[in-house]
Amino acid sequence: MDAHGEVGRPGRILISRHEIAARVAELGLTIRRDYAGRFPLFVGVLKGAIVFAADLFRAAALPASLDFMGVSSYGAGQRPSGSVRLTADLSMSIEGRDVIIIEDIVDTGRTIGYLRRNLATRHPRSIALCVLLDKVARREVDVPVDYVGFAIPDEFVVGYGLDHRGYHRNLRDIAVLEPTEAP
C-alpha cells in the first residue's frame, strides 16, 4: 500500500478557505455581541479544533481566555469506537466562568455530550457550544449546539484541523477524503 493508501487523499473541496474565513468572521461577531461585557473562557477540543479555535478566538476579539482539553473518540478508522476518553485536561479552573466549547465537528454527538457533562460538574457560570461542522444526519446523542458554522452531509472530511490518521490537518480548505482503492 502506498503512502496515500495509508493516510488517504483529500479530494473534492467541500468548503473553501474563503467560505471558512467568512463564516468564522460571522461567528466571531455573533459571539462578540452575545458575550459583550463578559470575560468568557474558550475551550478548544484537541486536536481537531486547534485551527478553528485560534481563528475564532481572534475573530471574537473579546477580553477572553483560551484553554484546551483533549478527548479521543476514534480508533484509527473513520467511525467512532463508541467510547470517549479524556487525554488532556484543562490547565485552569472554570468555576464561575462563561465557557464556550470550541469543537471541529459533531458527528454522533458522543464527544460533545461527554464534554458538556464533564465540564458541567466543575460549576461554570454557563456553557455554550460552538462547532464548525455539523453532520446532522449522524446524530445519535441529542446535544444542544449554540453556534454552528456549516451543516454538512455524511462524508468524511479533512483539513482546517480535521484529520485522517493524524494527517491533513494543515490543509487550508475542507475536503472530502477520497475512498482508498481495494488492494
Tell me which H or E stretch contains 132: strand 126-134
In the bound complex, what is the minimum distance in angstroms from residue 5's beta carbon to ligand IMP?
Answer: 18
Binding mask 153-182 for ligand IMP (x = CB under 6 A): ---xxx---x--------------------
Q: What is the C-alpha separation between 94 and 116, in angstroms, rounded?
A: 13
In the bound complex, what is the minimum distance in angstroms from residue 23's beta carbon to ligand IMP?
Answer: 17
Among residues 8, 108, 116, 119, the one that binds ligand IMP under rule CB under 6 A = 108
Is residue 150 within the footprint of ligand IMP (CB under 6 A)? Answer: no
Specify the 3-state DSSP secondary structure of 57: helix
Q: By CB under 6 A, what part of segment 79-98 binds ligand IMP?
A: 80
Q: Which of these, 56, 163, 159, 156, lies nearest to 100 by C-alpha position?
A: 56
Specify the 3-state DSSP secondary structure of 74: strand
* Beta-ladder partners of 131: 103, 148
- Which residues form the catalytic set? 107
Report the interface residues with ligand IMP, using CB under 6 A.
Answer: 48, 73-74, 80, 103-112, 156-158, 162
